Each structure stands twice: as structure tokens, then as C-alpha cells.
């Protein structure tokens, strides 16, 4: 496809600038979307999907074609209503099986709504070509090419609401659907007493994976006896997972994320207590030195899979994708100070992005179809994601050994309290790295982290 250029267009703009802007934005969107259609889901998604903000290792290749996702099956007309959806590849192409299930659900919707032209397009979640950026720049000049329903990281909901890029779902969702959410899922989308979107999957649920061929004792729920066992542990200490683990220990030690004035802040003593746990584990050889070289779950998993480490830190997305059929791999919660650490999760939500009341009704109808218990359950299982609705788990295979663990952990989980790009996570990443490399004591690392957040 030829490269899109705007230099000549901008130079020749005159009184018809508005019309040219519309044509230009349409051209840019078409080029970007066409380039994205055949791109597979990224190997390490952050959504946190994302992560999560949390890194995701993906081994399942994306399908070569996605007809129902990329191309409307019915010609667009001028007389029928059009419903346009934008999906990031992390959702549209999470796995080959997931894409097939989603295609089938969209095809069923089209069949049941022959009077609606449904257009579903892939779009990046961030950057200049991301969903939110296109909503910002496109609404004033080319609203007709913008989406009515989008899948968005819960990290971005608050910003999107404040800029009025999306609209609260309000009465468009039945309250029973909100009541069916895991507690953390509802907290992820509740902003200033408004429901910014409907969360459909939860990401970033961290836990341990261990090899039962080398780990013969039960892993305790407390950190101190855990690191006294004759095992070896690896985790990504040089990236977001390391900072998130530090945050979990910090919160378990009674730390808060704001000061008395409501400003973003950390406290020295609970942070020093949190860092001390990792420092001791590294100093006695329980944590492998290679941990300081790794920034993603994929890297540390490779060391675990090779047998160099008997225990590793992982998350739900990675484990569901890589567990395979090995009966030797088992999971358990991450040990904490007095009990296992409270999981912190992020997720993905459906959000309505049109100001047209009629389009909102159409978008809400499709949204309700996609979050139907069976539809969400079948798609989430095929896509290797944990569903945000409790009912959706009833459509997972009953004999899946991960199912009872996931349910129990999601009922304990809290919503991730900060963005993956926040200053708090940055300073915690640095502090964890410093103690894992033994370059600073927990006390010094904690003091420097607290000072780094002060104005």
C-alpha cells in the first residue's frame, strides 16, 4: 500500500479546509486500519490488557484472515443505520480460537439484525494511531467514520470520560449485569459515581507457577517460610511485574498511596518492610540473580520452563497460554507477610463512544449481546482471558483445574489502584531493582523512592 502523505494537502489548503480535513482523516484512518488488519496480537501486551499494564506472553499465532472482524459482510447503504466498532488486536486476535468465536458471535448478530450495517475494525489502543487519539482529532471534522462502541483498557477509562470521548453507560446496562461482576471489575469502571464502561475481562492476576517434579513440599501462604524452602525463584525484577510485586507487598505492610493532603505519596517504613522481603530472598540465594535481567513474564518463564528455576511469578494470561498439557505445572497464590498477597487486576471494558442517542441504543444492544454469559464465557475461554462476569465461568469446562483457583483469586482481588505508567509504579520498579541487585539496602531504597515522589 502506498505511503499516505499530508505535506502537499496541507500546503494547498484554502477555504475548503474542513472538507479536506474530513477526506484526509478518512484516508489516514483507512491506511492505518488496513495496515493493522493482518497484524498479530503483540507478544507482550500491556494492558494491561493492558495489562494490563502487565506483560503478556503469547505463543498462539494470530489467524491469517479475519473476515468478520475486518470486513462488513453486507454492503453499506445510505438508508440503514450503521453501527461501527473498533477493537484492539489484543481482543480481536487474542488467539486463533478466540477470533473464530468472536467472528461467529458477530455473524449471529448480523443475521439477527439484517436492518443494521455492522462494521468492525481493528485499531491500536495507544499512540498517535490509537483509538483515543482518533476520537480526539476526528470528532470535530469526521464524526461519520468514528466508532460507536469500543474496547478500551480500564487504565484509560477515566481519561476518556473526562475528555468526553466516551459516555457513561447508565441505564443502558441492566443492574443485574453489574451485580454479576467480580468486585474488582466494578471498581475498575466506577469513576465519580459513573459507570464508564462494562468490563468484560480481567487481566494481570499474578500468582506462582511451580514444577511439582522439583517442588515436593506445599508452598506456604507466608513469605518467610516460603523463601526458607530449598527451591529457586525467578521473576521479572527489571520491569512492571517487579514494581507490581513491590506494590502488593507495600499495601500488605499497611502502606498508602496518598498523604494527608491527598497528594500522591509513599511511606518509608511500610515500603522498607516490603523491600526487605525481596532483599532477604535475594541475599540468601532463593531469588535467582537472572531476575534482575528480566523485564517481562515471557523471559522469566523461559528460565522456569528450562528447569533452572523451580518456581516463577506469572499472571493469568501467560499461564493460560503456556500451561499446555503439562501436569507437572501447578499454581498457587503469592505468599505475603501474614497471608498470601491480595491480587491486583486491570482489564478491558466495552465503552460507548457516540453522542447520537439512536446509535447509543444500537451500541448498547450489541454490547449486551457480547457480554451475555454464554457468549462471554465461550469467548474468554477460547481467548485465554479471565471473564469479569462471574456467570461466564459456568461456560468454561468444569474439569479445568485452573477454574476454582481463578474464581477464588478474583473474589479476593482488588482493582489496580494506579496506572502502569504512573510515577508510583516507576519509583517502585526502581526500588525493587535496586534491592534485587543488592546495590541498595531496603531502607535506603525506600527513602529514595519516597523522596522521588515529593514535589
* Per-residue pLDDT, 323: 85
The answer to whether residue 29 scores a pLDDT higher than 80 is no
Cα–Cα nearest to 347, from 124, 188, 164, 146: 188
Domain residue extents for the chain: 41-204+346-407, 206-332
Q: Is residue 37 very low, low, confident or very high in pLDDT (cuts 50, 70, 90)?
A: very low
Give the DSSP letter string of 11-60. Answer: HT--TTHHHHHHHHHHHHHHHHHHHHTTPPPPSS--B---BBBS-----S
Q: How far apart are CA 322 and CA 300, in angstroms?
A: 13
pLDDT tier at 129, thresholds 50, 70, 90: confident
Cell 521473576, residue located: 235
Q: Residue 304 pLDDT more than 60?
A: yes
| 90 neighbors 4 (Cβ within 8 angstroms) | no
Q: What confidence score (pLDDT) does residue 50 get?
A: 37
Q: What is the mean pLDDT of the chain?
A: 85
**What pLDDT sits at residue 80?**
84
pTM of the predicted model as reported, rounded to 2 decimal places? 0.82
Alpha-carbon distance values, 443 to 3, 121, 274, 280, 336 (Å): 54, 50, 10, 13, 19
Question: What is the topology classification, in CATH, of domain 206-332?
Answer: D-Maltodextrin-Binding Protein; domain 2 (3.40.190)
DSSP per-residue letters across 195-225: E--EEEEEE--EEEEEETTT--SPPPSBHHH
Of 3.40.50.720, 3.40.50.2000, 3.40.190.10, 3.40.50.150, which CATH number belongs to 41-204+346-407? 3.40.190.10
User: In terms of residues, how long is the chain?
Assistant: 455
The answer on pLDDT for 25 being more than 90 is: no
78 confidence band (pLDDT: 50, 70, 90): low
Q: How far, in Å, CA of 161 to CA of 189, rounded?
A: 10
C-beta of residue 353 within 8 angstroms of C-beta of residue 149: yes
Give mean pLDDT, residues 68-79.
47
Tell me the per-residue pLDDT of 354-399, one tens digit each, with 9 for 90 and over: 999 999 999 999 999 999 999 999 999 999 999 999 999 999 999 9
Q: Please indicate whether the domains covering 41-204+346-407 and 206-332 agree at the CATH topology level.
A: yes
Q: What percent of the chain has pLDDT over 90?
A: 74
Higher per-residue confidence, 81 vs 443: 443
The Cα–Cα gap between 125 and 46 comes to 10
CA-CA-CA-CA torsion sign (361, 365, 366, 367)? positive
Cβ pair 155, 130 in contact under 8 A: no
| pLDDT, tens digit, 9 for 90 and up, residues 213-257 | 999 999 999 999 999 999 999 999 999 999 999 999 999 999 999
Which pLDDT belongs to residue 67?
36
Given a cut of 60, is residue 301 above it in pLDDT?
yes
Strand partners, 130: 124
3-state secondary structure of 321: helix
Nearby residues of 145 by Cβ (< 8 Å), 6 or more positions away: 25, 26, 29, 84, 138
Answer yes or no: is pLDDT of 313 > 80.
yes
Q: Is the pLDDT of residue 265 over 80?
A: yes
Predicted confidence at residue 325, as pLDDT, reads: 62
Task: Out of 11-25, 49-63, 284-298, 392-406, pick the least confident.
Answer: 49-63
Q: Are 157 and 189 in contact (CB under 8 A)?
A: yes
**Mean pLDDT, residues 267-291:** 97
Q: Is the pLDDT of residue 176 over 70?
A: yes
Distance between CA atoms of 357 and 363, rounded to whole angstroms?
A: 10
C-alpha to C-alpha distances, 350 to 91, 272, 314, 422, nearest whole angstrom: 11, 39, 26, 23
Amino acid at each position: 500500500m502506498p505511503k499516505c502523505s499530508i505535506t502537499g494537502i496541507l500546503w494547498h489548503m484554502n477555504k475548503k479546509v474542513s472538507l479536506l480535513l474530513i477526506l484526509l482523516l478518512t484516508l489516514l484512518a483507512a491506511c492505518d486500519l488496513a495496515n493493522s488488519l493482518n497484524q498479530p496480537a503483540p507478544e507482550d501486551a500491556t494492558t494491561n490488557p493492558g495489562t494490563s499494564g502487565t506483560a503478556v506472553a503469547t505463543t498462539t499465532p494470530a489467524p491469517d484472515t479475519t473476515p468478520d472482524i475486518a470486513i462488513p459482510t453486507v454492503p453499506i447503504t445510505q438508508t440503514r443505520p450503521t453501527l461501527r466498532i473498533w477493537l484492539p488486536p489484543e481482543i480481536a486476535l487474542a488467539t486463533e480460537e478466540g477470533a473464530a468465536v468472536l467472528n461467529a458471535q458477530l455473524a449471529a448478530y448480523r443475521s439477527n439484525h439484517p436492518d443494521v450495517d455492522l462494521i468492525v475494525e481493528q485499531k491500536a489502543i495507544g499512540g498517535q494511531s490509537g483509538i483515543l487519539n482518533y476520537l480526539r482529532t476526528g470528532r470535530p471534522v469526521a464524526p461519520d467514520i468514528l466508532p460507536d462502541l469500543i474496547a478500551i483498557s480500564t487504565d484509560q477509562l477515566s481519561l476518556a470520560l473526562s475528555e468526553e470521548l466516551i459516555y457513561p453507560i447508565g441505564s443502558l446496562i441492566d443492574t443485574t449485569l453489574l451485580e454479576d461482576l467480580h468486585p474488582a471489575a466494578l471498581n475498575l469502571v466506577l469513576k465519580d459515581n459513573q459507570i464508564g464502561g462494562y468490563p468484560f475481562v480481567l487481566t494481570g492476576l499474578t500468582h506462582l507457577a511451580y514444577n511439582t517434579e522439583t517442588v515436593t513440599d506445599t508452598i506456604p501462604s507466608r513469605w518467610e517460610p516460603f523463601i526458607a524452602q530449598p527451591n529457586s525463584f525467578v521473576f521479572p525484577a527489571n520491569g512492571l511485574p517487579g514494581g507490581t510485586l513491590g506494590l502488593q507487598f507495600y499495601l500488605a505492610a499497611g502502606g498508602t498511596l496518598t498523604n494527608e493532603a491527598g497528594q500522591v505519596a509513599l511511606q518509608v517504613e511500610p515500603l522498607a518492610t516490603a523491600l526487605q522481603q525481596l532483599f532477604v530472598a535475594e541475599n540468601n540465594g532463593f531469588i535467582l540473580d537472572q531476575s534482575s535481567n528480566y523485564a517481562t513474564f515471557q523471559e522469566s518463564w523461559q528460565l522456569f520452563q528450562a528447569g533452572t528455576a523451580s518456581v516463577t511469578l506469572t499472571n493469568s494470561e501467560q499461564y493460560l497460554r503456556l500451561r499446555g498439557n503439562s501436569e507437572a505445572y501447578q499454581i498457587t497464590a503469592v505468599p505475603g507477610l501474614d497471608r498470601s498477597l491480595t491480587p491486583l487486576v486491570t482489564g478491558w471494558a466495552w465503552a460507548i463512544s457516540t453522542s447520537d442517542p439512536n446509535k447509543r441504543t444500537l451500541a448498547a444492544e450489541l454490547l449486551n449481546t457480547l457480554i451475555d454469559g454464554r457468549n462471554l464465557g465461550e469467548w474468554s475461554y477460547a481467548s485465554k482471558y479471565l471473564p469479569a462476569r462471574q456467570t461466564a465461568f459456568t461456560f468454561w469446562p468444569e474439569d479445568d483445574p485452573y477454574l476454582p483457583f481463578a474464581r477464588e483469586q478474583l473474589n479476593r482481588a482488588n482493582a489496580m489502584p494506579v496506572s502502569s505508567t504512573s510515577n508510583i509504579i516507576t519509583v517502585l520498579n526502581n526500588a525493587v531493582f535496586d534491592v534485587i541487585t543488592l546495590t541498595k539496602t531496603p531502607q535506603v531504597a525506600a527513602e529514595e523512592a519516597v523522596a522521588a515522589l515529593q514535589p
